[in-house]
Amino acid sequence: MSAIAETSSIPSTAGKSPSSNPLSSGASEDRFLTLLVAQLRNQDPLNPLDNAQVTTQMAQISTVSGIDRLNATLKSLAAAFAEAQSLQAAALIGREVLVPGDALELGTDGATGGFALAEAADAVTVTIRDAAGNVVQRVDLGAQDAGVHSLAWDGANDAGEPMAAGSYRFGVSASRSGASVPATALAAARVLGVARDAGGTQLELSGLGRRGYAEVKQIL
């Protein structure tokens, strides 16, 4: 019986009002109307301003104003999304997650890791190595579907002997019909905290440091 068991799979204008911003939509409209009125007042009576020109200019300022409002709406939505993401991330504190990495921490209850396959494979092999790079165990997991898979290692080597607790590394290779299938090793870590920086929502992970919220592939 394999010592590795697959456990699951899953196919700023702050402080300023809009009117105080010289580039605001309202300011642009005011300048346009002022220029338009000046044009109308000073037009040549024998060659008055063409209606088509006025209509074109009105359409242009309307388009600019609409783009400004759309940009403001998108910024507001982005800010709301970031806040919601932070709240979701906070709920992960104390939970274990899988993120890209090859670390495998063996404790008294074994070790947990995972892998992601870009497409289905008919042969998947997991190789575990100790800190010196020596192969501890190599296990054939057979065919696996595309997606994220979690796995558990009971800590025994190929001879069935228990290994000492500590840090190990593992790699995943996959193929289908003899052709290589992209496979990514996933490390398991406990979420210790959540932070926000210029890069977005970040998770503080035990043993792995800070990782982006988007790097989480599975919640254990």
Identify the pLDDT of residue 99.
97
* Separation of alpha carbons 197 and 82, rounded Å: 11
Tokens found for residue 180:
């290589």
H helices of 100-176, in order, are none
Please tell me the pTM assigned to this model.
0.66
More confident residue, 26 or 140: 140
pLDDT, mean of residues 195-207: 87
Residue pair 220/150 in contact (Cβ under 8 Å)? The answer is yes
Query: Average pLDDT of the chain?
Result: 83
* Separation of alpha carbons 29 and 67, rounded Å: 13
**What is the per-residue pLDDT across 142-194, written as a single tens digit (0 to 9) for each?**
999 999 999 999 999 999 999 999 999 999 999 999 999 999 999 999 999 99
**What is the per-residue pLDDT across 8-45, written as a single tens digit (0 to 9) for each?**
555 544 444 444 454 455 666 677 777 767 766 776 66
**Buried residues in 75-110 as b, exposed as e (16+ CB within 10 A):** eeeeeeeeeebbeebeebeeebbbbebbbbbbeeeb
* Separation of alpha carbons 20 and 169, rounded Å: 58
H helices of the chain, in order, are 25-41, 51-90
Q: Which sign, positive or negative, has the C-alpha torsion 126, 211, 86, 188?
A: positive
